[in-house]
Amino acid sequence: MIKLADVEAAAARIAPMIRRTPLLRFDRAREPFCANDLFLKLEFLQPTGSFKARGATNKLLTTPKEALASGVVTASGGNHGLAVARAAYVSGVAATIFVPSAVTAEKHQRLLSWGADVRVVGTVFDEANEAAQAFARERGAAFFHPFADPAVVAGQGTIGLEILEDLPDVDVIIIAIGGCGLMAGIATAVKALKPSVRLVGVEPEGSPTLHDSLAAGRVVRLPKVTTRVATMACGRTDDRVFDTVRPAVDHIALVSDEEMAAAARRLWDELGIAADLSGAAALAGLASNRIALRPGETVCALVCGAGSDIFR
């Protein structure tokens, strides 16, 4: 789908418009998430509050100006939509964002604050995505897919470059999975530069998209998505994304919505980090003991999204 060179080019391209987020060593905690050295990649500090700023910005900057004349359209559980709305706003482009009814009220309001035309369609991402694609065709607008787009995937992969530069001894990277574009981008960068790194994905029990596809040996569509975490509720990944991550992923851990909420609460109580449930997913995988770590391994977990989910 993409190569290391695409990720490196994206890193240079988007640098003026995104933040290089820090790594935080998780120590001096009341109760550690694991016995290993643990570092948190604080992607919730990106503009609009998630890693999605990287992919959306790279997509916008690689889209010809004439293709943007009728605006941009996307579907999102919230975080990608915010990133697209922000990128469009700073570039003076109109944005229409389709969201499922499960989107949080906070993220819905924030989308409006960026000047986006927000349309609620369906109960899960897949339904909103079908409506967004139809709208884009009808209006001749540029469609920004949240994970099945090489430019978006390359943008997300820049996280992998930063982790390896700042934590060269990393052995395990734990990544929340929705549509799987984040995993695909990081896998492309990390496996090219340090193949020994183990990549672990975390999915909701109510949306085991990659887990079930890996078990079947092909992309499958989930018969039902039951998680309430809209940013991770995806019934089917993309074939090209699947082909990228299939040989790269070491393990998939499934966690409940309640376990993600508990991890988000701990992040707030102990570190003052207000993560949304997807942002706490990697740590929920550790706290639930569903990720096997070897003694001495250095671990990096992504806190990929901000939000006030635990305060609702």
Tens digits of residue pLDDT in 222-272: 999 999 998 999 999 999 999 999 999 999 999 999 999 999 999 999 999
Out of 26-30, 70-74, 124-128, 287-291, pick the least confident: 26-30
pLDDT value, residue 254: 98
- Taking the alpha carbons of 280, 282, 283, 286 in that order, is the dihedral positive or negative? positive
Give me the mean pLDDT over the 144-166 stretch.
Answer: 97
Query: What is the rounded CA–CA span in Å between residue 211 and residue 203?
Result: 8
Give me the mean pLDDT over the 116-120 stretch.
Answer: 97
Burial class of residue 307 in the structure, from the number of CB atoms within 10 Å of its CB (0-12 exposed, 13-18 middle, 19+ buried)? buried
Query: What is the rounded CA–CA span in Å between residue 216 and residue 211?
Result: 9
Of 50, 242, 57, 76, nearest to 146 by C-alpha is 76
Question: What residue type is 39 in one-letter code?
Answer: F
Query: What is the rounded CA–CA span in Å between residue 40 and residue 22?
Result: 8
Packed helices 4-14 and 181-193: angle between N→C axes, nearest 10 degrees: 110
Give me the mean pLDDT over the 51-56 stretch.
Answer: 97
pLDDT value, residue 312: 64
β-pair partners for 39: 25, 300
Give the pLDDT confidence of 197-214 residue by residue, as tens digits: 999 999 999 999 999 999
Kindly indicate the confidence band of residue 130, based on its pLDDT and cuts at 50, 70 and 90. Answer: very high
Across all residues in the chain, what is the average pLDDT? 96
Burial class of residue 92 in the structure, from the number of CB atoms within 10 Å of its CB (0-12 exposed, 13-18 middle, 19+ buried)? exposed
Of 105, 124, 123, nearest to 113 by C-alpha is 105
Phi and psi angles of residue 279, each rounded to the nearest 5 degrees, phi first: -65, -25
Contact 72, 96 (CB under 8 A): yes
pLDDT value, residue 160: 98
Q: What percent of the chain has pLDDT over 70?
A: 100
Domains (range + CATH), the chain: 4-50+150-311 (3.40.50.1100), 53-143 (3.40.50.1100)
Kindly indicate the confidence band of residue 305, based on its pLDDT and cuts at 50, 70 and 90. Answer: very high
Give the pLDDT confidence of 286-296 residue by residue, as tens digits: 999 999 999 99
CA distances from 173 to 25, 38, 99, 279, 292 (A): 14, 10, 29, 14, 12
Kindly indicate the confidence band of residue 221, based on its pLDDT and cuts at 50, 70 and 90. Answer: very high
